[in-house]
Chain A
Amino acid sequence: MQTFETTRELVIGGVSYETRYTKKFERRTPYIAPDPHLVLCVIPGVIRTVAVRKGTRIRSGDPLLVLEAMKMENEVVSGRDGTIRTLCVSPGDTVTKGQILVELD
């Protein structure tokens, strides 16, 4: 019979099982709670226009900037009320998924 020298531990229901991990399991990333103050880019693209400045007071639903992605000009709006603490991008910037666009107070 085969031996399993490279086994790892997996705890399920309080019991630790000797087993191997799959590549996918090994590559899983720990969960990070989203920070409501950060507006993140959800799709890679290019910033076309920016509608706010540092210190601008905004309400939930106000447009922040226009992101061109997948041949579409997407309006990025604020999900909450607040003030712009930092504007991290300017028109013409190429942005990737997950990149911080705007920080709110």
Chain B
Amino acid sequence: MDKKVLPGDGVITGTGSIMGYPVCIYAQDFTVAGGSLGLMHARKITKIMDHAIKMGMPIIGINDSGGARIQEGVDSLAGYGEIFYRNTLASGIVPQISVILGPCAGGAVYSPALTDFVFVVENISKMFITGPEVIKTVLGEEISMEDLGGARVHSEISGNAHFCARNELECFHKIKQLFTFIPWNNRKKAERYPAKPPKSKFDIERIVPMDSRKPYDVRNVISALCDNSEFLDVHANWAANIVVGFARIDGETVGIVANQPMVLAGVLDVDSSDKGARFIRFCDAFGIPLITFVDLPGYLPGVDQEHAGVIRHGAKLLYAFSEATVPKITVILRKAYGGGYIAMCSRHLGADFVVAWPTAEIAVMGPEGAANIIFKNEIAGAPDPAEMRRQKVAEYTEKFANPYVAAASGHIDAVISPAATRDFLIHAIQISANKNESRPFRKHGIPPF
């Protein structure tokens, strides 16, 4: 092994620019010893990472590696550890992007997992801690690489990948698109683009049905409000009951968090809370204002959810929204019930602007559930309980299923029409430009990881 010559030790590193944005980049070369990671290989990566942190440049890692270079023994493990350490140091300082363009097994998957955005390509990317071979020997379970850790698995089921492309070209295009939205580092603002109106085919007045039980695609609301109707959906196919991603309002990058009534009625659950929280922390770290669109019936009921720790995971969303000091703007489109209302960047979690559409229902719970509890005795004692329930539900709906009770208490600032929403968002973003919210010093908070 020591006599073998490994060109570049299996990794190429350097600097460059993407549409004027400076970047540090490294790419593992599978043709050299399977792209395996030895200490020199790792030191080349950590050197370019140190450079990126010092220079305030984003770092892109192209991963294509068989894993640790076993011939180097513990040295290769040291190499992994040194990369993970720098991933953590760079977190929140410069954007970190991982592109998985081949197999990525064992220790190799943890550097991508520590970075901000992971890109995978169908039929090419594979990620797992233990591969199908090991699973077969140890457990006797047979599974293909694709079914275990292919691009679709990570972009739809595990949530390890943020973007999934059909081919490499589409993948590179998406990376370039992402770069237009994010800043070079945490001291710089994201680039401003010329403002463009939304495309006229998205009619804001006709997207959200009045009946709060009817679904719609919240991405149409986003498209109807943001510049050029351009929205970069992050984690598009994982936990689709929440939508997160980047857009621009009046030329400024914003991070969008929105419940998706089209999927699972837009409920919060374990995965959607994780997805939301992670995205919010990225936006907060890099000074990107947050816009939240609210339309949810609450949390997903179920034994599986409770046992999977929906309390702990749901708390991440509360933590992330509360911790964020970037401008926080909330628009309540329709339902905002109970814990879901609080969690979706309510005034109480420090939102700077909270507005509601006239269709909004801000209440402790939905009319049916509330009437059943509040008027339990009246309903049970009535000659016709079903009729009495209908009456009480109607009464509750009339009194509380609207935005005006919350507005009267100051929990929301205004009730605005859908048509006025874009102008409101532009105004809110403009006057938030100098927002400065300081907190007491601490080493760091303790989020419910």
Contacts and interface: CB of A to CB of B under 8 A. Distances in A.
Interface of A: 1-2, 4, 7, 10, 12-25, 28-29, 31, 44, 70, 94, 96
B264 A19 contact: yes
Interface stretch (B90-98, B119-127, B301-309, B347-355): B301-309
16 contacts: A1-B220, A4-B262, A10-B264, A10-B267, A12-B267, A13-B297, A13-B337, A13-B368, A14-B366, A14-B372, A17-B215, A18-B214, A19-B263, A20-B215, A22-B264, A29-B304
B239 A12 contact: no
Interface string B286-313: 0000000000011011111000000000
B271 interface: yes
Contact of B140 (A14, A15, A18, A96): A96
Given A12-B297, A13-B368, A17-B265, A2 B240 contact: no
Interface of B: 138-140, 156-157, 206-207, 212-217, 220, 239-241, 261-267, 271, 297-298, 300-304, 337, 365-369, 372
A20 B157 CA distance: 16
Contacts of B267: 10, 12
Contact of B156 (A2, A14, A23): A23
Contacts of A2: 216-217, 220
Contacts of B265: 10, 12, 17, 19
Contacts of B337: 13
Contacts of A23: 156-157
Contacts of B304: 28-29, 31
A7 B211 CA distance: 15
Contacts of B301: 12
Nearest to A28: B304
Nearest to A21: B264
B368 A19 contact: no
A15 B264 contact: no
Q: Which of A1, A28, A44, A94 has the most CB of B within 10 A?
A: A1
Contacts of A12: 265, 267, 297-298, 300-301, 366
B223 to A, nearest CB: 12
Given A12-B298, A31-B304, A94-B140, 10 more contacts: A2-B220, A4-B215, A14-B366, A22-B239, A22-B263, A23-B157, A24-B157, A29-B304, A44-B139, A96-B140
A36 B368 CA distance: 39
A14 B366 CA distance: 8
A20 B263 contact: yes
Given A20-B263, A22-B241, A25-B264, A15 B157 contact: no
B366 A15 contact: yes
A13 B298 contact: yes
A30 to B, nearest CB: 8
Q: Which of A15, A25, A28, A94 has the most CB of B within 10 A?
A: A15
Given A7-B215, A13-B298, A96-B139, A24 B271 contact: yes
A15 B393 CA distance: 11
A7 B267 CA distance: 15
B267 to A, nearest CB: 6
A18 B297 contact: no
A41 B217 CA distance: 44
A15 B215 contact: no
B264 A14 contact: no
Top 8 A-B residue pairs of the complex, sorted by shortest distance between their CB atoms: A17-B265, A14-B368, A13-B369, A31-B303, A13-B366, A12-B297, A19-B265, A44-B139
A21 B269 CA distance: 13
A102 B262 CA distance: 46
A18 B215 contact: yes
A10 B265 CA distance: 7
A18 to B, nearest CB: 5
A69 B140 CA distance: 13
Contacts of A22: 239-241, 263-264
Contacts of B261: 17, 19
